[in-house]
């Protein structure tokens, strides 16, 4: 498997540095592989979608402590405090735009992947804060609504 990266002694497994690189590649690959079967299923709950797409970084309870968070150079936010950070009101439209990739805050091209193109669930409509009608994928809205249920205060 690692033949290409193996030292000249030949036949030996890859060196430690190479192992690290391989681990990183595996993590990236695992994210892509995990996401694929979920997108193929029509009916998933927001909780199940969250676990598949988000918990790896944001943590199962959304506290920002998923296993991949330690590998990122940017801190992974606690998603249970989204309402608290927005004056007590859950910023539903913003969260939808962040998940589907329309709101490119801080780091696009950064560590937070863009999920819009992977999501299924048909199309969904919600009211934006400015009275505008916002359209997104059904699964994006389900995840955002699931996050509402996790808010601390």
Rounded to the nearest whole angstrom, what is the least distance from the CB of residue 144 to ligand HEC in the complex?
Answer: 7
What is the smallest separation between the CB atom of 17 and ligand HEC, expressed in angstroms?
23
> Measured between alpha carbons, how far is 123 from 138 in angstroms, rounded to an integer?
5
Taking the complex as a whole, the smallest distance from the CB of residue 77 to ligand HEC amounts, in Å, to 4
Place of tokens 């995990």: 34
What are the tokens at 45?
């709950």
Three-state DSSP string of 25-73: HHHHHHHHHHHHHHHHCCCCCHHHHHHHHCHHHHCCCCCCCCCCHHHCC
Which one of 8-16, 17-25, 74-82, 127-135 is the stretch in contact with ligand HEC (CB under 6 A)?
A: 74-82
The rounded distance, in Å, linking the Cα atoms of 21 and 153 is 41
Q: Figure out which of the listed residues 39, 44, 46, 54 binds ligand HEC, where binding follows CB under 6 A.
A: 54
Q: Would you give the binding string for ligand HEC spanning residues 76-95, x where CB under 6 A is met?
A: xx-x---------------x
CB of 53 to ligand HEC, least distance (A): 4
Site mask, ligand HEC, residues 13-52, x = CB under 6 A? ----------------------------------------
Cβ atoms of 34 and 52 within 8 Å: the answer is yes
DSSP secondary structure letter of residue 81: G
Assess 106 for contact with ligand HEC (CB under 6 A).
yes
Tokens of 20: 């690290």
Residues engaged in binding ligand HEC (CB under 6 A) = 53-54, 56-58, 68, 72, 74, 76-77, 79, 95, 98-99, 105-107, 110-113, 115, 143
């Amino acid at each position: 498997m690692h033949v290409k990266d193996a030292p000249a002694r030949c036949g030996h497994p890859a060196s430690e540095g190479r192992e690290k690189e391989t681990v990183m590649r595996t993590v990236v690959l695992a994210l892509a592989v995990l996401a694929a079967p979920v997108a193929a299923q029509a009916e998933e709950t927001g909780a199940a979608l969250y676990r598949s797409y988000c918990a790896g970084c944001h943590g199962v309870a959304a506290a920002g402590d998923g296993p991949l968070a330690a590998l990122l150079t940017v801190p992974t936010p606690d998603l249970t405090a989204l309402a608290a950070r927005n004056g007590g009101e859950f910023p539903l439209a913003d969260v939808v735009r962040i998940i589907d990739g329309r709101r490119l805050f801080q780091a696009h091209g950064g560590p937070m992947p863009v999920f819009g193109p992977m999501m299924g669930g048909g199309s969904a409509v919600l009211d934006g804060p400015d009275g505008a009608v916002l359209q997104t994928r059904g699964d994006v809205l389900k995840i955002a609504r699931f996050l509402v249920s996790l808010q601390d205060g």
